[in-house]
Amino acid sequence: MQSLQESPLPENEQPWRAGDYYVTNITISEIRASLAALSSDKNQLSAFAASKVLRSQVQDLHSYIVRYGSKRAAITKLIRELVTTKQYDQLQPALVHLEQTIPQYVREPALHPSHTTKLSRSPEGKIRYHIRWMIRHDLPYVLHISGRSFDWDWSENDFLQCLRQRDCIGMVAEHGCSNIVGYMIYQLKKAKFHILNFAVHPAWRRMNVGGAMVEKLVAMLDNRRRTRLTMEIRESNLPGQSFFRKKEFAATGVTRNFYDDTGEDAYRMQYRAYPPNELELQEEQEGNQYVNDENGDRS
């Protein structure tokens, strides 16, 4: 069997991205957890189940590395062989070796603007971003940005449950070669778009990423149907409040104990592009009727 020292390690054909490291790191952590369970569990049936899970995780790691064009597949191939032959004692050094081959600039995951190629700019000097719909493959990048942005961020299941609803839409902001630097989740209402989750990677803030996404949503408003944007924001999120005020959002009220995780209040904010139309008045009446029905059920 080929030793770790003899494993060929040609350089990547393309740069690593933040999400590549995120997915790789999570999978390696899961493999280590399975190894720990395998070494501590003396029950033969449980050990068999744990080894089956371990084989699946190692295969996922290898498939992911290969899929993104990494020449480090030689190491993951060796890791697969170690699992197949049950040489579990050599797995930890192999995993460490794989981690050490990941470029330094993505180990603290997130591609900083200084590590990208020349920033693409418009004739006016603004950095260009590609705003598109979110797809399933984007989720690792979105989770990473969310984790860097919030103390109480959404879980993967939260994102998936939301995006499975027909009225829930996700968008991402890209710069360069599929480098996702921000995301927004919003809900389609009769007469408005309601922003549910919105974040920009810390390294890309104050570079008009958030502004580009808000402008994309504003451009979809019209006077016949959806006339405004609405959202809730934590009372403690002062930078977020400042950003939205600069984008001409106005506070319209306070919802007490809005956030279940902390019981924190939320400010309701709104951007209005057009005067209220019939759909908005109808939506407001339906909302008032729902509140009245809820109060009636509790009495």
The tens place of each residue's pLDDT in the chain, 299 residues long, gives: 333 333 333 444 344 554 556 667 767 777 887 887 777 756 665 667 777 778 887 877 777 666 544 556 777 788 888 888 888 888 888 888 777 766 554 444 444 454 444 556 656 667 788 999 998 888 888 888 888 888 888 888 899 999 999 999 999 998 865 578 899 999 999 999 999 999 998 888 888 999 999 999 999 999 999 999 999 999 999 999 999 999 999 999 999 999 988 899 999 999 999 999 998 888 888 766 544 554 455 44
- Residues 137, 149, 258, 241, Cα dihedral to 10°: -120
Residue with tokens 């191939």: 77
Of 253, 14, 18, the residue nearest 147 (C-alpha): 18
Query: What per-residue confidence (pLDDT) applies to 151?
Result: 84
Of 216, 195, 211, 206, the residue nearest 267 (C-alpha): 195
Query: What per-residue confidence (pLDDT) applies to 281?
Result: 86
**CA–CA separation, 230 and 186 (whole Å):** 10
Query: What per-residue confidence (pLDDT) applies to 209?
Result: 93
253-292 CB burial, b ≥16 within 10 A, e <16: eeeeebeeeeeeebbebbbbeeeebebbeebeeeeeeeee
Query: What per-residue confidence (pLDDT) applies to 1?
Result: 36
Instruction: Give the SS3 label for residue 253.
Output: strand
- H or E segment to which residue 198 belongs: strand 192-200
Full-model pTM? 0.62
Query: What per-residue confidence (pLDDT) applies to 255?
Result: 95
Query: What per-residue confidence (pLDDT) applies to 221?
Result: 96
Query: What per-residue confidence (pLDDT) applies to 17?
Result: 54
Query: What per-residue confidence (pLDDT) applies to 22?
Result: 60
Query: What per-residue confidence (pLDDT) applies to 176?
Result: 67
Instruction: Give the SS3 label for residue 294.
Output: helix
